[in-house]
Amino acid sequence: MAMQYKNVKKYDREIYNLIREEERRQKDGLELIPSESYASAAVLEALGSILNDKYAENYPGKRYYGGCETVDKVERLCQERALKVFRAQGYKVNVQPYSGSPANIEVYAGLLDFGDTIMALRLDHGGHLTHGSPVSFSGKAYKFIHYGVDPKTECLDYDEIARLAQKHKPKIILSGFTAYPRLIDFKKMHAIAKSVGAISMADISHISGLIIGGAHPSPFPFTDVVTTTTHKTLRGPRAAMIFSRKDKSIKIKDKNVLISEAIDKAVFPGMQGGPHEHTIAAIAVALHEAKKPEFRKFAEQVVKNAKVLAIAIQKEGLRLISGGTDNHLMLIDLRPFGPGRGKFIEKALEAVRISVNKSPIPNDPSPPFYPSGVRLGTPAITSRGMKEKEMRVIAGFIARVVREFSHVILPEEKSERATAVREFTQKLSRSQFVKKIGSEVKQFASRFPVPGIDTK
């Protein structure tokens, strides 16, 4: 065991037991949520360190608190590593954002006035809540023009994005998504932004580890602003970073301002208080790990595994959005069985110890809470050492479960939906089929160590 939790065990038995319960869930099951992965024991140790205790508002060398000499070194080291690992010469990086959603909003807040126009991918085609959903602060404070995927190919249509950019003249054009299984042409997106005088922005949260490992094209060194979380394919702590081009300025209230300075001010004091220096130290550890040749192999294997899993799932007769994947994730289109199956299939897979998440798909006839797709990916299982052979086995588990429960119907009446899901979940807990597959999954999964749990 990497972590003994000796003191938690002694002082708080309830939390100790819950940590152990989650360890068992992680070991006995298959984590296929594409935005999840496992942090190493070294990352977790830095995250649990006494750096937690230090206040350090503002940036290294100009803090509002005394005693920041050491945390200044921590933060500077993290910045240096981030710029190096992403080959982001010519950029400044802010490593203080608490997570991805604040990071995106901080960019908008730093560079725009309320009501300014941003272009981004629509939520049900793979965009993120902070890319202008009406339920997010982003959608309330800014005017979003959404582009979608092509109805036939279910891939980005760059000509259509260029046409919308010409028509709406946004201040920011955002790419980088949360449920898009294909490569993103960041060069094209930047050229479109440049052609209308917009800032190009890429949210690479999902694919940052693939970019470092050379398994996805990079938005550096041309995209004006790049945001990323640090806990997905990068395998660090839950946090985020914002990169901005040092040579790029914009007009704010008739004054030319460097975008990197405007963004720094938006992070602190604009939106955040004291940076979490323990988290920043843990990001630095994750970046150090990402420099190693093993990380490149990991990134390559994530994509190889995803491609094999996608082919195997399709061979089982299931439909994938866009017909497959180029990255770490894929979306199963459950519409051939009827609308609104996503929530039920998520629950059924969870009952057999496979974690995926329900997801809207392009042109989904159902609402986002009861969508018609599920999203899955390979970063976590790849970090447990699973390879192509295991992907075929996993595709078999998924297909058996989908086939068994594909007939479950989402009630048309909205008020009946929550009850239908509850009754379905109860039925799962009594199902012999679920018990059988669940124990097969457990036997299969427990052969593979979980980083952060099964380390010496």
User: Which residue among 54, 122, 182, 232 is the active-site one?
Assistant: 232
| 128 belongs to the binding site for ligand DSN (CB under 6 A) | yes
378 is catalytic: no
What are the Cα distances from residue 160, in Å, to 26, 132, 163, 166?
42, 19, 5, 10
Minimum CB–partner distance for residue 309 and ligand DSN (Å): 18
* Catalytic residue (choose from 106, 154, 203, 289): 203
Q: Which residue is nearest to ligand DSN (CB)?
A: 35
3-state secondary structure of 374: strand
Q: In angstroms, what is the minimal distance from the CB of 100 to ligand DSN? A: 5
Query: Is 81 an annotated catalytic residue?
Result: no
Q: Is 416 an active-site residue? A: no
Q: Which is nearer to ligand DSN, 35 or 208 (CB)?
A: 35
Nearer to ligand DSN, 33 or 311 (CB): 33
* 130/107 Cα distance (integer angstroms): 11
In 3D space, the residue among 268, 222, 219 whose CA is nearest the CA of residue 245 turns out to be 222
The answer to whether 223 is a known catalytic residue is no
The interaxial angle of helices 342-351 and 432-445, nearest 10 deg, is 60
Active site residue 38: no
C-beta of 376: minimal distance to ligand DSN in Å?
11
Computed on alpha carbons and rounded to an integer, the radius of gyration of the chain in Å comes to: 22
Q: How far is the CB of 129 from ligand DSN (least distance, A)?
A: 7
Q: Does 366 bind ligand DSN (CB under 6 A)?
A: no
**Interface with ligand DSN, residue 131, by CB under 6 A:** no
> Which of the following is catalytic: 229, 233, 279, 378?
229
Task: Assess 175 for contact with ligand DSN (CB under 6 A).
Answer: no
Residue ranges in 89-118 that form contacts with ligand DSN under rule CB under 6 A? 100
Amino acid at 231: H
**Interhelix angle for 186-195 vs 158-168, to 10°?**
20
- State which residue, 198 or 331, has the beta carbon closest to ligand DSN: 331
- Asked if residue 257 lies in contact with residue 106, where contact means CB atoms within 8 angstroms, the answer is no
Helix axes 342-351, 417-430, angle to 10 degrees: 20
Binding test (CB under 6 A) with ligand DSN, winner from 29, 31, 32, 35: 35
Q: Is 235 exposed, middle or buried (0-12, 13-18, 19+ CB in 10 A)?
A: buried
Nearer to ligand DSN, 35 or 382 (CB): 35
CA gap 221, 90 in Å, rounded: 7
Residue ranges in 386-445 that form contacts with ligand DSN under rule CB under 6 A = none
Pairwise CA distance, residues 205 & 103, whole Å = 11
Please report whether residue 122 would count as binding ligand DSN according to CB under 6 A: no
Q: Catalytic residue numbers?
A: 55, 57, 203, 229, 232, 238
Binding site for ligand DSN (CB under 6 A): 35, 100, 128, 178
